Every structure is written in C-alpha cells, then in structure tokens.
Amino acid sequence: MTQITPAPRPEDLRELIASQMHLEGPLLPILHAIQESYGHVPQSAVPLIADALNIGKAEVHGVISFYHDFRDAPAGRHVVKICRAEACQAVGGTAVAEHALQRLGVEWHGTTANGAVTIEPVYCLGLCACAPAAMVDGRVVGRVDAARMDELLSEAGA
C-alpha cells in the first residue's frame, strides 16, 4: 500500500536535497529521495530543487514528467500499473487498459474519487510470457483480462 504523508515542510525538503548534492548528476537521486519520503514530488519542491542545482524550474518539471515513476500528486491507497509494452498490447493489453480506465473514470496517472486506486502505465514488467501483465502495489499479475482486472480493482476498493 502506498504511504501518504502530510505536506512536506520546506526545511525538510532542503535537507533531503542537500543530502544528495554530493552525487554526480544529483537531480534524479533528489527526486527519488523526495518521492520515497512523501509518496510524490510536491510542486513546492520544484523551486527548491531548481535553486539548489542552479537550473530552471521548467527543467525540473520536464524531468518529473519524463520519468513515469515520478508523480506530482499523492497516489491513492493502491497503485495499479498496467503494462503498455508491445508483448502485452499484442494479446489484448490495450483493451484491458481501456476497460480499467473506463471503469475507474480516470486518465493515466489518475486516482479514483474515493482515493482507493491510482492507475499508472508501465512499460514491460518482465512478465511477457504471461501477458497481458499488471502490477498491484508491487505484486505482478499475469494473464489479466477484463474480468481479472475487475477483480483486482474490486479487491483494491475501486
């Protein structure tokens, strides 16, 4: 289950940023450290990171949105990832994904209104032999058709 913590304080964010500054190319480690602590990278962290690294805020935003692992808002209580890579798409993964999004009434990266489930795309879970594949809170699930997806979403409270 994904942990949701209160809004981070600027001094705590600065401390986390400072703890990664010794690394070469510290931007990704900083983003990982913040997401690990807070479950997402809050908007308020962006100017602090930009200042610390002497880069533009747009650059920080660009990296956050480029990497699918980072989120800019807290996740729901459960995170369901659906594989969108080729092997899964070839055997019905696209239909499963569309079914899930439609059932939940959200777009990719969206969270259901009750806060139960956040849905994320993922690009190969290493489970191609059992495609279509999904992952629920870090647990991989193979051969997911629409009915199995419904079960997984129901179990997650969506």
In angstroms, what CA-CA distances link 60 with 33, 55, 102? 14, 8, 31
If one asks whether residue 83 binds ligand FES (CB under 6 A), the answer comes out as yes
Number of residues that bind ligand FES (CB under 6 A): 11
124 is in an annotated binding site: yes
If one asks whether residue 124 binds ligand FES (CB under 6 A), the answer comes out as yes
149: closest CA among 93, 65, 74? 93
Residue 132, φ and ψ in degrees, nearest 5: -70, 145
| DSSP three-state, residue 134 | strand
Stretch binding ligand FES (CB under 6 A), from 13-21, 32-40, 84-92, 107-115: 84-92
Stretch binding ligand FES (CB under 6 A), from 11-19, 21-29, 108-116, 121-129: 121-129
Name the helix (H) or strand (E) containing 82.
Answer: strand 78-83
Nearest residue (CB) to ligand FES, 16 versus 125: 125
130 is in an annotated binding site: no
Nearest residue (CB) to ligand FES, 8 versus 93: 93
**Region at 115 (left for phi over 0; alpha for psi -120 to 50; beta for the rest):** left
| Binding residues for ligand FES (CB under 6 A) | 83, 85-88, 124-125, 127-128, 131, 133
